[in-house]
Structure 1
């Protein structure tokens, strides 16, 4: 429980105004058991009303279209609870939604384009990730994220987390162990999966292809540089290359370069008459960071 209390303190400090500021919503900390139900370990907020007929409108965002589309497919069986309004890659969310679900593939921290998404939408933004390091979570909440949802949970629990966030609560899942992360990263879609690359190997290879150094990759996705080197070695072996330049060429030929794409299920509102939705006090420009 020490780790949980630690996280509770960090989450409290991440609130605007500091630890003593009034909370805008209850904090829900999810269980770390793979596939298990989300449980309240802190303030004990009531569950989302199961009799509610409101469907949460969701936009899914990631740099890679295949990743965002894979997450949308996971949520398809739950159309009575969540409606996917838009799937966007390298573009701002253009639709009116309640929750933006940002898949953290290649974007582990709430800085740069992720922070811009938080600042430029009136919707609450949840980070869907396998990296739940306490400092990473605290930084993300301080930068405006409404929650960190573990990729280790089942799809139905993901829907519940989205509903909790829409209800005004801050959802933070506990870190998972290596076995749980391996199971979590077997779900969804990513570039190079058909060649046997794991999600983590694919993520690192994509960042190699974008020109980042090993140190920059470690900082971007918040893992150790030794882990970066290990993922690169495994990826090289699987795609049968021996150098960084060969890996970059292979990645470019096999869809590892992100491109702008947007899929909507409903027409976008009239942007000429729609009021600006940027959060108060936020900068209209891109944050100067990773």
Structure 2
């Protein structure tokens, strides 16, 4: 009796090298255990900060990035550094801070997956990101919709620098020294910043208001 030979299993394609930035070691170990079960994905680098990952200079295709890290770096700052590695970045987060998710979306992350999702969902998300697809989710869509509703105040690069420092708690004199400008110039910038935010119905009368606008626009990390 002739038997039809079994077809060989499909080629899973190249193995994608994945890194994770998360300051909870157990999260990285869990992701490593999940990916070890698949021939097309491998976790090859774990780091608590983006600086640590970049300094290690691993050869990576994908990075899972926690958006809230102990070093208080912002998603915008971390995405800029990871972009220089030429990797695709997926936000891997609890999703409990929409402002961080909006900032990540604005900064070019390929999508988002919650840490509470199943292993199968994580694997599917990484495969989709490796194919160049957006890793969509309800949280991701909501964050993007909310971001579209926040009007850009149109700050210049210098105004953004002043706002980041001033809203973080620095006094005008120190901001002036840090940026190499006069105190009067700093105060002029602050006045223009307040005016620009007011023009798009985002009030910034007080320093607390300025802090909130800086967090919304990704210049400062939200409080932990």
TM-score by length of 1: 0.39
- When Rg is computed on C-alpha atoms for both structures, the one with the higher figure is 2
Structure with bigger helix share is 2
